[in-house]
């Protein structure tokens, strides 16, 4: 069934019911207004009357928080991401470049420069610096008058040899930044990224939302767990479930992007409202709390209306 046809069918089924009965009076609607410039490039965000944010986008995969994301020896040691995608190199003259732009940097220029910087202790401005954003890092260095923060990467305290892969949402009961348990496991916790422009609308880390793909008809509530450039990034746990796939406790180079959706066929709704603290010892509570919040928000009945009301790119 074509996605647009399915959206109309779902809306009619949920509003009228299988026997044609009207929807319960007083159910929340998806009334709202456009939010130009919010949510990222090519995103048409929609501000709900109760303060939530909705938009159609794809489903990119955010692996931050996974304990085997980054390793000093990259794929050779079993890492699923290359270090180049999580850092920027700063050279002694103040110029800089993204580690993976162009991709040929990854196995050449980036690794060469990083090796020199590491051998010099990470903080020698005469050699350069690595500004880490995919790996937890500490310390700073001043290069050509500019202070670069987060330059010395942290190895996980468990001795695994992997670097710490952090998220913005953390368990504050785990104070050690080098303890990977401080950060939600993206293979088990369905989570979404929060663009700065959406945060400026009042959406908070630790609050909840829901994502649904028209082809799988699978609505999956999520927690807002990390920062990102645009609406449309979720953890492997979210992407897999939205695509109708089972969860997995291990991912590989081949399976790291399972569940990715390139076209803007996924409806994302950020509810706003209450944000709850993350507790790694109660990991399963995240999905349960997200589901309960989804039901209070209006559940599948309201989501069906949003499928019809939210503008498409």
State the pLDDT confidence band at 32, using cuts at 50, 70 and 90: very high
Do residues 143 and 128 make contact, with C-beta atoms less than 8 angstroms apart? yes
pLDDT in tens, 90-109: 999 999 999 999 999 999 99
> Once rounded to an integer, what is the mean pLDDT over residues 222-228?
97
Q: Which residue has the tokens 């009334």?
A: 31
Q: Could you give the count of Cα atoms lying within 13 Å of 1 in the half-sphere of its Cβ?
A: 12
Residues 6+ apart with CB under 8 A from 60: 232, 233, 234, 260
The structure tokens listed for 299 are: 């559940």
Q: Is the pLDDT of residue 5 over 80?
A: no
pTM: 0.88
Q: What is the pLDDT of residue 290?
A: 98
Q: What is the pLDDT of residue 215?
A: 85
Calpha distance 307→55 (Å, rounded): 10
Domain regions of the chain by residue span: 3-63+184-309, 74-164
Q: What is the pLDDT of residue 214?
A: 80
Q: What is the pLDDT of residue 307?
A: 94
Exposure letters 50-63 (e unless 16+ CB within 10 A, then b): eebbbbbbbbbbbb
pLDDT in tens, 237-284: 999 999 999 999 999 999 999 999 999 999 999 999 999 999 999 999
Q: What is the pLDDT of residue 217?
A: 87
Average pLDDT over the chain, rounded to whole? 91
> Once rounded to an integer, what is the mean pLDDT over residues 103-119?
96
């Amino acid at each position: 069934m074509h996605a647009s046809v399915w959206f109309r069918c779902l809306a009619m089924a949920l509003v009228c019911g299988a026997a044609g009965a009207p929807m319960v009076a007083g159910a929340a609607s998806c009334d709202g207004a456009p939010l130009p410039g919010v949510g990222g490039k090519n995103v048409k965000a929609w501000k709900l009357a109760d303060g939530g944010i909705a938009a159609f986008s794809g489903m990119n995969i955010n692996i931050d928080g996974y304990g085997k994301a980054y390793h000093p020896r990259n794929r050779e040691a079993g890492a699923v991401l290359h270090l180049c995608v999580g850092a920027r190199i700063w050279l002694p003259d103040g110029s800089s470049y993204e580690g993976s732009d162009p991709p040929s940097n990854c196995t050449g220029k980036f690794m060469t420069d990083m090796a020199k910087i590491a051998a010099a202790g990470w903080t020698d401005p005469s050699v350069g610096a690595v500004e880490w954003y995919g790996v937890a890092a500490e310390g700073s260095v001043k290069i050509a008058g500019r202070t670069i923060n987060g330059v010395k990467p942290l190895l996980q305290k468990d001795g695994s040899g992997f670097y710490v892969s952090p998220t913005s949402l953390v368990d504050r009961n785990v104070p050690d930044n080098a303890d990977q348990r401080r950060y939600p496991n993206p293979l088990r916790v369905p989570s979404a990224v929060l663009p700065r422009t959406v945060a400026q609308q009042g959406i908070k880390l630790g609050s909840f939302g829901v994502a649904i793909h028209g082809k799988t008809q699978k609505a999956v509530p999520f927690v807002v767990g990390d920062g990102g450039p645009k609406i449309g990034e979720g953890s492997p746990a979210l992407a897999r479930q939205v695509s109708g796939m089972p969860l997995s406790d291990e991912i590989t180079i081949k399976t790291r992007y399972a569940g990715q959706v390139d076209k803007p066929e996924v409806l994302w709704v950020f509810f706003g409202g209450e944000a709850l603290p993350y507790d790694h010892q109660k990991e399963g509570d995240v999905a349960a709390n997200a589901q309960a919040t989804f039901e209070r928000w209006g559940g599948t009945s309201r989501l069906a209306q949003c499928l019809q009301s939210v503008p498409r790119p």
